[in-house]
């Protein structure tokens, strides 16, 4: 009982931090960066941090812990598999649109793409995420997937899922720092320098802290053995095709 209460406290903290991340990145780009558009201008770039934080971190993290909710234990696992896959697909689509926003902005301004460590980490996280989703759906949801393959894939899927989250967090906080350094240059662009810690810098730094805190809570939930879904009849013992009723 105490473990279940602790889980829900941690889960509520996860949801609260995720919401705070989304609100913070939206306020930053709407209030300090001028808002949003899709015209190749800096306003189009503003979609990039919003969609990447929302998709690659928040929705991804919430989707990763959906199996851990005790309310789902003892129920048919199939709907939760589909929900997990759907949340991950939403996160992936948001990330793809976020990448399109920044690539289109750079191309419109004749700027180089993928030159910074932030971009290298970010594109790696997005590529691994896309691969993880496709392989995960093929391996865990398709009826033709053999039991032996799923048994082999499961530890890799779990490990890679956590690794992608870590890469996403690293990409986001490095991107936030990069944006603040480029934007807050002092009198040359009518802003206070980043070193003086103006309100925009405080908000950006706070966003980075919130993202890290969210990631740590998600990893705490995923790594706690007592919060793993009990499975008295593992899928690896008796394979049930997609849409076949499971009496778990």
| Residue 34 · residue 28 · CB < 8 Å | no
pLDDT of res. 245: 37
More confident residue, 80 or 126: 126
Is a pLDDT exceeding 80 seen at residue 243?
A: no
Looking at 69-83, 122-136, 160-174, 220-234, which range is the least confident one? 220-234
| Residue 129 · residue 60 · CB < 8 Å | yes
Across all residues in the chain, what is the average pLDDT?
A: 90
Is a pLDDT exceeding 90 seen at residue 76?
A: no
Instruction: Domain ranges for the chain, please list them.
Output: 2-36+44-227
Strand residues in 12-71 grouped as ranges (E): none
pLDDT (mean) for 120-124: 98
Tens-place pLDDT, residues 223-234:
998 888 876 554
Tens-place pLDDT, residues 35-58:
999 999 999 999 999 999 999 999
Locus of tokens 């793809």: 96
CB under 8 Å to 150, separation ≥6 — which residues? 139, 140, 235, 236, 239
Task: Return the CATH class of domain 2-36+44-227.
Answer: mainly alpha
pLDDT band at 246 (very low <50, low <70, confident <90, very high): very low
pLDDT of res. 235: 46
Output the pTM of the full model.
0.90
């Amino acid at each position: 009982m105490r473990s279940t209460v602790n889980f829900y406290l941690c889960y509520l903290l996860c949801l609260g931090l995720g919401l705070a991340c989304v609100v913070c990145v939206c306020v930053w780009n709407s209030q300090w960066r001028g808002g949003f558009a899709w015209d190749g201008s800096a306003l189009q770039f503003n979609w990039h941090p919003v969609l990447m934080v929302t998709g690659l971190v928040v929705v991804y993290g919430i989707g990763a812990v959906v199996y851990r909710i005790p309310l789902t234990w003892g129920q048919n696992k199939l709907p939760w598999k589909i929900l997990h896959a759907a949340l991950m697909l939403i996160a992936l689509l948001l990330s793809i649109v976020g990448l399109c926003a920044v690539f289109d902005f750079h191309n419109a301004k004749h700027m180089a793409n993928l030159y910074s460590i932030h971009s290298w980490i970010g594109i790696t996280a997005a590529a691994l995420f896309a691969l993880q989703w496709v392989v995960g759906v093929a391996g865990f949801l398709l009826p033709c997937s053999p039991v032996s393959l799923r048994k082999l894939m499961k530890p890799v899927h779990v490990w890679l899922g956590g690794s992608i989250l870590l890469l996403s967090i690293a990409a986001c906080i490095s991107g936030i720092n990069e944006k603040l350094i480029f934007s807050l240059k002092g009198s040359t662009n009518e802003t206070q320098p980043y070193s003086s810690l103006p309100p925009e810098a405080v908000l950006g730094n706070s966003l980075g802290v919130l993202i890290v805190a969210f990631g740590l809570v998600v990893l705490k939930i995923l790594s706690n053995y007592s919060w793993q879904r009990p499975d008295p009849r593992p899928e690896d013992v008796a394979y049930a095709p997609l849409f076949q009723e499971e009496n778990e």
